[in-house]
């Protein structure tokens, strides 16, 4: 886990700010669900036999009734729970929601991965039309571009994983195919093949990747409903000129996905990095709340986005005030708050170091912060309601009546802008 310091917040804020702009244009509303949920929500919604549930969920017990709780490992199941509990199905459909906040996974330690990490996600609930899948893809792409990633470098991987009606045919085919390779695949995949066969397609093991190359394509096994849906998605993408790569090994790790699944990657120098992804999950509402509500969503790892923004050369600077207030003597020290409040109301940042006494040490702070002007309030100035305005570059000083200082400062700042 890591601390998020001021320099990091500039990236987090920029990511949230850009997401807000584009998602709110498309009528998404912000939602924040609790960090702690009943563990059952995730075991039911995501699936017991997924790595996320088996190994990565932080669990805790409620002392009063021994109920098992979990630190939220992902955002979709809680948003769906909120939708159902809050009766949002009574609103005009679909309901569009987005979130930004910390999530928790007990993952193996690796570079750039944190056990508390931020995710930005969006869900469209209550509509099964293929155009909605494309809407979320289009918005996601726009969001990534707004962060400064170039259109050329972002690419979209897409696949369909069908529905429970047709997926089992494909799973049978997968099992058949892998029978011939049972000695060549890793031990994890041997286990996956028994418990959650689609997950073998997710394996990054070198030997398993070789085996994957000739694996049958799920598109050949889709039922007519799933096939028509996917065909439409691709047609809309073509119409919008959004390039995509059909990826038969893209299955996403969680059980709740149905039909369209997708992932956004960045063309790196050596290998691709995933920025985020999502898909349709038409059965999740039924599994956790007994209500049939088709939905589609996307999620981005904020730390990953930040890392890639830094890689791409995106820089933010922490802003420091151009002005600094120096006070000397008790009367001046007391008056400082009045002056600071005046500047605050005018929205002009003004630095200070009220605990310091000497002119020298205060000027040193001003210099370190890179202040262009320093306001000096001494004993005599405080008595006369005057203040000294010092230009740090030229060293020139002017004596200005206190009631005019805001006006005089504004005049100078406008010039330097």
Applying CB under 5 A, among 205, 249, 353, 365 the residue interacting with Zn ion is 205
Number of residues located near Zn ion, criterion CB under 5 A: 11
Residue 94 burial (CB < 10 Å; 0-12/13-18/19+)? buried
How far, in Å, are 126, 187, 211 from residue 180 at the CA level? Answer: 42, 15, 10
Q: Is 233 a binder of Zn ion (CB under 5 A)? A: no
CA distance 39 to 26: 32
Least spacing, CB of residue 250 vs Zn ion, in Å: 16
The residue (of 159 and 362) whose beta carbon lies closer to Zn ion is 159
Q: Is 163 a binder of Zn ion (CB under 5 A)? A: yes
Least spacing, CB of residue 303 vs Zn ion, in Å: 26
Entry field: residues in the chain? 417
Least spacing, CB of residue 222 vs Zn ion, in Å: 5
Query: 371, 346 in Cβ contact below 8 A?
Result: no
Q: Is 80 a binder of Zn ion (CB under 5 A)? A: no
Applying CB under 5 A, which part among 2-10, 52-60, 166-174, 243-251 lies near Zn ion?
Answer: 166-174
Query: 287, 258 in Cβ contact below 8 A?
Result: no
Least spacing, CB of residue 190 vs Zn ion, in Å: 8
3-state secondary structure of 358: coil
Applying CB under 5 A, which part among 52-60, 169-177, 186-194, 353-361 lies near Zn ion?
Answer: 186-194
Rg of the chain, C-alpha, whole Å: 28
Q: Is 166 a binder of Zn ion (CB under 5 A)? A: yes
Least spacing, CB of residue 163 vs Zn ion, in Å: 3
Least spacing, CB of residue 2 vs Zn ion, in Å: 30
Applying CB under 5 A, among 189, 198, 284, 382 the residue interacting with Zn ion is 189
The residue (of 123 and 282) whose beta carbon lies closer to Zn ion is 282
3-state secondary structure of 395: coil
| Distance separating the N- and C-terminal Cα atoms of the chain | 40
Q: Is 88 a binder of Zn ion (CB under 5 A)? A: no
3-state secondary structure of 11: helix
Applying CB under 5 A, among 223, 234, 369, 392 the residue interacting with Zn ion is 223
CA distance 6 to 15: 14
CA distance 80 to 93: 14
Two structure tokens written together for 383: 């008595």
Q: Is 184 a binder of Zn ion (CB under 5 A)? A: no
Binding site for Zn ion (CB under 5 A): 162-163, 165-166, 186, 189, 203, 205, 208, 223, 226
């Amino acid at each position: 886990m890591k601390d998020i310091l001021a320099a990091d917040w500039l990236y987090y804020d920029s990511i949230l700010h850009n997401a807000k702009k584009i998602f709110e244009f498309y009528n998404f509303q912000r939602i924040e669900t609790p960090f702690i949920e009943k563990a059952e929500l995730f075991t039911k919604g995501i699936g017991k036999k997924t790595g996320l549930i088996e190994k990565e969920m932080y669990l805790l017990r409620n002392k009063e009734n021994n109920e098992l709780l979990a630190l939220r490992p992902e955002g979709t199941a809680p948003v769906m729970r909120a939708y159902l509990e809050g009766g949002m199905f009574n609103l005009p459909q679909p309901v569009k929601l987005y979130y930004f906040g910390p999530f928790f996974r007990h993952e193996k330690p690796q570079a750039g991965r944190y056990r508390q990490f931020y995710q930005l996600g969006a869900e469209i609930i209550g509509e099964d039309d293929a155009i909605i899948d494309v809407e979320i893809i289009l918005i996601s792409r726009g969001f990534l571009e707004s962060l400064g990633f170039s259109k050329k470098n972002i690419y979209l991987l897409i696949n369909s994983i069908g529905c429970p009606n047709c997926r089992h045919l494909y799973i049978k085919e997968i099992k058949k195919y892998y029978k011939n390779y049972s000695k060549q695949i890793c031990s994890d995949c041997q286990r996956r093949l028994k418990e959650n066969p689609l997950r073998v397609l997710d394996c990054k093991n070198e030997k398993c990747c070789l085996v994957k190359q000739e694996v049958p394509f799920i598109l050949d096994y889709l039922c007519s409903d799933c096939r028509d849906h996917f065909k439409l998605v691709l047609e809309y993408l073509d119409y919008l000129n959004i390039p995509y790569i059909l990826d038969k090994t893209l299955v996403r790790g969680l059980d709740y996905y149905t039909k369209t699944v997708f992932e956004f990657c960045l063309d790196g120098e050596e290998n691709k990095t995933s920025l985020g992804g999502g898909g349709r999950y038409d059965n999740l509402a039924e599994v956790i709340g007994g209500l049939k509500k088709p939905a589609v969503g996307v999620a981005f790892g904020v730390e990953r986005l930040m890392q890639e923004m830094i890689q791409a050369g995106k820089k933010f600077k922490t802003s420091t005030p151009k002005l600094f207030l120096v006070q000397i003597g008790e009367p001046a020290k007391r008056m400082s708050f009045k002056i600071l409040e005046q500047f605050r109301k005018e929205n002009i940042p003004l630095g200070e170091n009220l605990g310091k006494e000497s002119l020298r040490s205060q000027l040193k702070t001003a210099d370190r912060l890179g202040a262009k002007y320093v306001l000096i309030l001494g004993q005599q100035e405080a008595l006369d309601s005057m203040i000294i305005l010092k230009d740090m570059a030229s060293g020139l000083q002017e004596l200005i009546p206190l009631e005019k200082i805001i006006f005089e400062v504004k005049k100078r700042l406008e010039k330097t802008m």
